[in-house]
Structure 1
Amino acid sequence: MFTLTVVAAIAAFALYGLKHPWIGVLGWTWVSLMNPHALTWRLSGAPVAAVMAVSTLIGLLATRDRRDFSFSREMVFLALFMAWMCITLPFSVVFDPSYALWNRVMKIDLMILVALFVLYSRQHIMMLAWVVAGSVGIYGVKGGLFTIATGGSYRVWGPDGTYIYGNNEVALALVMTIPLMRFLQMTTDKAWVKRALMASMLLCAAAAVGSQSRGALLAISAMATVMWWRGPNRLRSGLLMLLLGVLLVIFMPDTWSDRMSTIKTYDQDDSANQRLNAWSMAWNIAKDRLFGAGFMVSVPEVCLQYSPIPTDCRAAHSIYFMVLGEHGFIGLALFLTFWFLVWRSAGRLRLDAAKRPETQWLAPLGAMAQVSLAGYAVGGAFLSLSYYDLPYNVMVLVVLGRRWMAREAWTQEAAVEKAEQPGAKANGKTSLQARMGVG
Structure 2
Amino acid sequence: MRDIIITLIVFGSLPFVFKRPFYGAVLWVWISVMNPHTQSWGFAQSMPFAAIIAGTTLLAMMAKPKEVSLPNTALTWLLLGFSAWMCLTTLFAIGPEDPWPALNKVLKIMGMTVVVAMLVRTRKDIEMLVWTIVISLGFYGVKGGLFTIRSGGAYRVWGPMGTFIEGNNEIALALIMVVPLMMYLVPLIANKWGKRAMWMAAGLCALASLGSYSRGAALALGAMLAFLWLKSHEKAKLGALLLVLAPLALVFMPEQWHARIDTINTYEQDGSAMGRINAWRMAINLAADHPLFGGGFQIYNRFIFQLYAPVPDDIHAAHSIYFQVLGEHGYVGLALFLLMYLVVWRSGAWVVKHADNIPELEWATRLVRMMQVSLVGFMVGGAFLSLAYFDVPYYIMVIMMATRLLVERMLKERAANPPVVQQEEAQGVA
**Which TM-score band applies after superposition, normalised by the shorter structure?**
over 0.9
Per-residue CA distance 1:149-169 (angstroms, 9 max, x = gap):
110000000000000000000
Out of 398, 401, 417, the position equivalent to 1:399 is 401
Name the SS for the 1:263 alignment partner.
Answer: helix
Task: Please show how residues 110-259 of structure 1 align to structure 2 within 5 Å.
Answer: 110-259=111-260
Indicate the residue corresponding to 1:7 in structure 2. Answer: 7
Query: Does the 8 Å contact 2:229/2:235 carry over to 1?
Result: yes
Distance 1:19 1:257, change over 3 A: same
Shifted more, 237-246 versus 85-94: the winner is 237-246
Deviation at 1:230, TM superposition (A): 2.4
Task: Give the TM-score, by structure 2 length.
Answer: 0.92
Provide the rounded CA distance (Å) in 2 between the counterparts of 1:202 and 1:237. 13
Aligned twin of 1:291: 293
Name the structure 2 match of 1:302: 304
Query: How far off is 1:350 after superposition?
Result: 2.9
Partner of 1:330 in structure 2? Answer: 332
Unpaired segments ≥5 residues, structure 2: 415-430
Q: In 1, distance between residues paired with 2:56 and 2:36?
A: 18
Count residues with an aligned counterpart.
Answer: 412
Q: Deviations over 1:383-438 (max 9, x none)?
A: 000001111111111111111111128979xxxxxxxxxxxxxxxxxxxxxxxxxx
SS in 2 for 1:153: coil
2:274 maps to which residue?
273
- Partner of 2:34 in structure 1? 34
Q: Distance in 1 between matches of 2:240 and 2:358?
A: 32
- Give distance in 2, aligned partners of 1:203 and 1:233: 22
CA–CA separation in structure 2 for the residues paired with 1:83 and 1:172:
28
* Structure 1 residue 270: Cα displacement: 1.0
Q: Deviations over 1:98-140 (max 9, x none)?
A: 1111101101111111111111011111111100111011000
Q: Contact 2:96/2:303 (CA < 8 Å) preserved in 1?
A: no
Query: What code does the residue aligned with 2:24 have?
Result: G
Deviations 1:193-248 (A, max 9, x none): 21111011011011001001111110111111112222345455334323222112
TM-score (norm: length of structure 1): 0.90
Deviates more, 1:298-307 or 1:89-98: 89-98
Looking at structure 2, the residues matched to 309 and 30 of structure 1 have their Cα atoms a distance apart, in angstroms, of 41
Q: 1: distance between equivalents of 2:187 and 2:90? A: 44
**What SS is found at the alignment partner of 1:264?**
helix
Q: Is the 8 A contact 1:125 1:400 kept in 2?
A: yes
Where in structure 1 are there 5+ consecutive unaligned residues? 413-439
More displaced, 180-189 or 22-31?
Answer: 180-189
> 2:5, 2:66 → 1: CA distance?
28
- Computed over aligned residues only, the root mean square deviation of the Cα atoms, in angstroms, reads 1.7
The residue type equivalent to 2:33 in the other structure is: L
What is the CA–CA distance in structure 2 between the aligned matches of 1:158 and 1:368, rounded to whole Å?
A: 24
Other-structure match for 1:341: 343
**AA of the residue aligned to 2:149:** I
User: Aligned letter for 1:346?
Assistant: G
Measure the CA separation in 2 of the matches of 1:237 and 1:409: 31
Q: Equivalents in 2 of 1:233, 1:400: separation in Å? A: 27
Instruction: Give the distance between the partners of 2:235 and 2:132, measured in 1 at CA.
Output: 31
**SS at the partner of 2:99?**
helix
| Partners of 1:262 and 1:348 in 2: CA distance | 40
2 CA distance for matches of 1:392 and 1:180?
15
